[in-house]
Chains A and B, each alone.
Chain A
Amino acid sequence: MSCQRCQEKMVDALASGEGAVHVELAAHLRVCAECRKVHEAQVHLFGAIDSGVRAMVDVSVPPSLLPGLRARVAEDGVARQPWSFTWGVATVAVVAVLAVSVGLLMRGPGNSRRVVDRSPIVAREVGGAHSVTPRQPQVVAGAPIHARAQHEVARAPQGGATAPEVLVLPAERAAFIRFVTDLPEERDVAVAFTRPAADAKDEAVEIALLQIDELKLKPLESSNRE
């Protein structure tokens, strides 16, 4: 066995924690002083490593470890309970505030005016004749009207049972009033706006190809400049 091979084997044996030296290795160590010296140094080194690592972990545990942990567990429990409790209270509070706010918005004195102001103008077909007149907005004091109710008010039959209705956006209200007021004579135009379009079927349109009879094609003449 060569010295290099012997030293490799001895390191492997010591690293694996084998106490007994292999027979072949022991035979080499008996005759090689150099390797014996290296072996002693390696044994010393591995011994130092083992005791050093043991010293790193074999320390006395502080007596405050477990009491400290119990205190942290208790704190954790206490801290967690209010957390969920706080969230519960916060949720209830938010719901309550929302409910009160919605209620106040619906019942507030200024609100009814605002809601009715946004009510649509109704164009109505009265009797057999087509007449389009702007309707004055009705004020329903104190009545909670939300979007759906507003829609239902606009659709509710008033006067003529089959009167057609036109929903107008609040921003377009003034313009629509002007339009309806300015066109009392031209009923047909107004009716065209307020009546649904007749069910007319579209007919296919054919476009004939353009044909030019007297068309003569002449070859291009090259100019002198080219």
Chain B
Amino acid sequence: MRELVLIQPGRTLEGPTARESDRARADREFEERLAESGPLAFRVAYGVLRNAADAEDVAQEALLKAYRNFGRLREPERFRGWLVRIAFRLALDRWRSAKRREKRETEWNGPEQSVTGQTAEELAVSSEFEARLERAMEELPEKFRLVLLLAAIHGYTLDEVSEMLGIPMGTVKSRLFFARKQLAEKLR
């Protein structure tokens, strides 16, 4: 919907009205970006945290930061790249603090007892592999891990990942190669 503002003939829009108009335009642009960037931030955060509630909180935090800095981030690629990085960083911070807390609790309570009532052998194998994969991912260098996660998100090509992160295509491919190779070595 187009916004109409009445201005006296011979005068330009200035003062509070101009500021309000700019603000409204920025809010509209930000809202347009949310449709794509919101899920992207959530998925990146989820790839690190593996918990929907935490990932949602982190994604909202990252988007709120993006909203506050939207004046500097109007270009779509710049906005996405910035958002992805900030979401990834916030998720890593939260993950680390959760690990520290978990370690403290384990030290106090003793080793955690497994209460998974798995019956199907395949499920057990799958869960075991998943856990090992998660551990292997955690050990990857951050830059490899981010590229791996972004490349795995459905709908994003390597070209888009390259644009998003502002790095050459060759760098994206090499990071992806080393990430997969390191994972295979750890999981073999």
A: residues with CB less than 8 A from B are 11-12, 14-17, 42, 45-46, 48-50, 52-59, 61-62, 64-66, 68-69, 72-73, 76
Central interface residue in B134, B173, B184, by most chain A CB within 10 Å = B184
Shortest CB–CB separation between residue A80 and chain B, in angstroms?
A: 9
Secondary structure type dominating chain A contacts: helix
Shortest CB–CB separation between residue A17 and chain B, in angstroms?
A: 7
**Complex contacts, B44 vs chain A, CB 8 Å:** 57
The answer on a CB contact under 8 Å between A69 and B133 is no
What per-residue 1/0 map shows which CB atoms of B62-73 lie under 8 Å from chain A? Answer: 011001100000
Residue of B nearest to A16 (CB): B177
The answer on a CB contact under 8 Å between B148 and A53 is yes
Central interface residue in A48, A68, A69, by most chain B CB within 10 Å = A69
Residue of A nearest to B185 (CB): A11
The answer on a CB contact under 8 Å between A57 and B129 is no
With A17-B176, A45-B184 known, 4 other A-B pairs at CB within 8 A are A48-B133, A56-B137, A57-B149, A61-B43
A65 to B39 alpha-carbon distance, docked (Å):
8
**Complex contacts, A15 vs chain B, CB 8 Å:** 177-178, 180-181, 184
What per-residue 1/0 map shows which CB atoms of B24-56 lie under 8 Å from chain A? Answer: 000000000010001100111011001010001
**Complex contacts, A14 vs chain B, CB 8 Å:** 180, 184
The answer on a CB contact under 8 Å between A58 and B137 is no
A54 to B59 alpha-carbon distance, docked (Å):
19
B152 within 8 A of A: yes
